[in-house]
Amino acid sequence: MSGLAEPPLGRCEPSFSTEDRIKNHHQSKAFEEDYSYLRIAGHGSFATVYEAVCRRSGEKVACKSLLKEDNAGWRKEVFMCQSVQASERTKTSKVMRILDVYETEYEAFIVSDLCSGGDLLDWMTSQCDASRKVWFTELRSLIMVQNMLQAAEACHRAGLAHLDLKPENFCFRSPDPFSDLILVDFGSAEPFAFAPYAKDSSAYQKEMDDHVGEQELSRMIGTAKYMSPEVWGGRFSSRSDVWSIGVILYALLSNQLPFSIQEENDLFKDPSKSVLPFLESQMRQRFWAHVSDTSKKIVCWMLNPDPSVRASTTESLAAITALVECILERSRAEDIVGKKHSHAGSKNDELYSQTLAQAMHRFETSKHKSVPERAL
């Protein structure tokens, strides 16, 4: 990835080197003065996450403890997350809140809201019986992806791409599996340096994509199966996050990832000609039989290899919201019909066709001319 283009005039990239940009930053006060450890909630190569409790309020929180020398970009990570919640325009309950930051000579302690329901990957794994394939319902999958897109859209409107969207980085707010999903871990997030977020395809300019340095790319290799073709090529935009969520939606609807490592290596050599035909063939398999054509079209839109044609988070969210509303309308209508008619099968089929037709119409309206002819 040598020979990256020079940034255009007017580039304005925030500086993350100054501590005073971090809110609620304590350097003369120990974490233990305000909080008590309860248990280890998880740990990785460079950090440990604890469940803790606030001594003053009794509120349970999460605390990420890390060695600064192993996490050179930790201040940037904190600032990127806080920047989403800093404005009323981008503030959202779908992105973790950082409550306090404590720093010693060698360590940093990042205190955030506690998501006690575990992450999405663990939940997906727990739902699958080893002896048979279990598919999550279309409606449930779409609602979870709604949460993800709401979080990603807030990031994009705040001027940054998350660049590490995967099931492990979405956590349930509570043990109730129907609670909201919360976006966590901004360790790979990068600001938009060349252009602001383009909420629709007409405003998006591919040549204004930002660059992923080799160091940043190597940090993301562990989640390669969620990375878009352009990120592999050293470039990113808000559309790169849409691809990642599209991969998650594909997995929720079909109980498998869209591409194996080998398929990814082969398809990404010439993605513009190979990816969509491959997805079309996959969606004709039996494990897609329970999924509506509208959902298939949305997945193809989100996984279009050309970011100039791929949906934005705003467009994806509008299309999925329209479909969710129609499925819920269908469910309510079926309840009414079921109460009035004991043999309502054909009537229900008619209602189903009508509501999906409404969803398709709303989808077509929201996407403008963004979905290619090759999409299902």
What is the CATH classification number for the domain harbouring 84? 3.30.200.20
Answer yes or no: do 57 and 187 share one domain. Answer: no
Same domain, 49 and 142: no
**Per DSSP, what are the bridge partners of residue 350?**
none
User: Are the C-beta atoms of residues 225 and 164 closer than 8 Å to each other?
Assistant: no
Residues 101 and 153 in one domain: no
Q: Are residues 188 and 307 in the same domain?
A: yes
pLDDT per residue as tens digits for the range 206-245: 888 998 877 676 666 557 889 999 998 889 999 999 999 9
CA 287 to chain centre: 23
Q: Are residues 56 and 194 in the same domain?
A: no
Give 284's contacts (C-beta < 8 A, 6+ positions apart).
Answer: none
What are the Cα distances from residue 118, in Å, to 20, 162, 167, 183?
Answer: 32, 20, 11, 12
Q: Which residue has the tokens 């193809």?
A: 300
Q: Is residue 183 part of a domain?
A: yes
Last residue of a domain, one of 83, 113, 143: 113
Residues 250, 211 share a domain: yes
**What single letter denotes the amino acid at residue 95?**
V
Q: Are residues 316 and 204 in the same domain?
A: yes
Q: In terms of domains, do 181 and 98 share one?
A: no
- Contact assessment for residue 22 and residue 101, using Cβ atoms and an 8 Å cutoff: yes
**Residue 375, both tokens:** 């999409």
Nearest to 228 by CA among 140, 171, 181, 162: 162
Q: Is residue 376 one of the residues assigned to a domain?
A: no
Give the number of domains in the chain.
Answer: 2
Residue 262 placed within a domain: yes
Say yes or no: 78 and 141 in one domain: no
Look at residue 365 in the predicted model and tell me its pLDDT: 59
Nearest to 209 by CA among 365, 367, 346, 4: 4
Residue 162 is assigned to a structural domain of this protein = yes
Kindly state whether residue 374 falls inside one of the protein's structural domains. Answer: no
Could you say which of 113, 131, 150 is where a domain stops?
A: 113
Q: How many CB atoms lie within 10 A of CB 287?
A: 14
Q: Is residue 337 part of a domain?
A: yes
- Residues of the chain with confidence (pLDDT) below 50: 1-20, 130-134, 341-349, 369-376
- Whole-prediction pTM: 0.83
Quick one: 95 and 129 in the same domain? no
Contact 312, 201 (CB under 8 A): yes
Rg (CA), the chain: 22
pLDDT of the residue at 313: 96
Structure tokens of 351? Answer: 């209602």
Are 58 and 195 in a shared domain? no
Containing domain of residue 144, as a range?
Answer: 120-367
Is the residue at 2 inside a domain?
A: no
CB-based contacts of 357, cutoff 8 Å, min separation 6: none
What CATH number corresponds to the domain at position 361? Answer: 1.10.510.10
The phi and psi torsions of 321 (rounded to 5 degrees) equal: -60, -40
On whether the CB atoms of residues 374 and 278 are closer than 8 A, the answer is no
From residue 375, give the alpha-carbon distance in Å to each of 139, 181, 308, 358: 21, 29, 15, 19
Residue 99's nearest CA partner among 69, 129, 130, 57 is 57
Q: 235: which strand partners?
A: 211
87, 113, 139 — which closes off a domain?
113
What pLDDT does residue 177 have? 79
Contact assessment for residue 198 and residue 122, using Cβ atoms and an 8 Å cutoff = no
Residue 233 lies in a domain: yes
- Same-domain check for residues 77 and 145: no
